[in-house]
Amino acid sequence: MKSSQLDAIVGRRYKAAPGAGYNDTQAQAIGCELEMMAEEGVSITPPAFVERARPEAHHLHPLYEWDNDQAAELYRQGQARNIINHLVIVHVAQESEQHEKALYSVVVHEEEERPARREYIHVREVKEDEAYLAQLEAQAWSELRTFAARCESLGFKAFAPVVRFVAQHSK
């Protein structure tokens, strides 16, 4: 199905968010497919969406890795990211505990024989490196802008001060 056909079905415009792993044309196809599923009364769940794209002729089929060995490896890498991302350091002081994220994903500095690349770096090292701190600050602002936009879009009045703060101080 062509993008223009999908536009005519739904009449909405979809776009890929940063880091989506697909382009805006594919985002339009995904959005329209999800709209069609809802119109058909199909619950929108990951298993249902995968099933929808399973036939090789389906326009969303190429978005998935269908080689089971490769998919299994990618899944394990996703599990590794989840494991690493949820590790915290416990600091105990005067009968209270404080938790601190143990590792952060950052683009590490280019070295003589190794190009710049993304790795997990211990928080201790991150705190001592201005470039890592700058990356994480930029990421925090991006996440805060996304959060504020969501709150504004959904009309969450309790977060109006956050929305105003982000609008006034966003880079």
Residue found by looking up tokens 């594919």 in the block: 26
For residue 168, the one-letter residue type is Q
Residue 157 in 3-state DSSP? Answer: helix
Per-residue pLDDT band at 40 (split at 50, 70, 90): very high
pLDDT of residue 62: 95
Nearest to 101 by CA among 80, 122, 81, 117: 122
CA torsion 46-51-53-54 (nearest 10°) is 130
Q: Poorest-confidence range of 18-32, 45-59, 122-136?
A: 18-32
Residue found by looking up tokens 């770096």 in the block: 121
Nearest to 34 by CA among 9, 54, 66, 56: 9
What global pTM score does this model have? 0.76
Structural Rg of the chain based on CA atoms: 21
pLDDT of residue 8: 52
- Length of the chain, please? 171
CA distance 47 to 148: 30
Average pLDDT, the chain: 90
**Tens digits of residue pLDDT in 117-166:** 899 999 999 999 999 999 999 999 999 999 999 999 999 999 999 999 99
* Sign of torsion over alpha carbons 159, 161, 167, 169: negative
Q: Is the pLDDT of residue 7 over 60?
A: no
Pairing outcome for strands 117-122 and 103-108: antiparallel
Q: Could you give the maximum distance between any two Cα atoms of the chain, in Å?
A: 64
Q: How many CB atoms lie within 10 A of CB 41?
A: 6
pLDDT of residue 1: 47
pLDDT of residue 171: 64
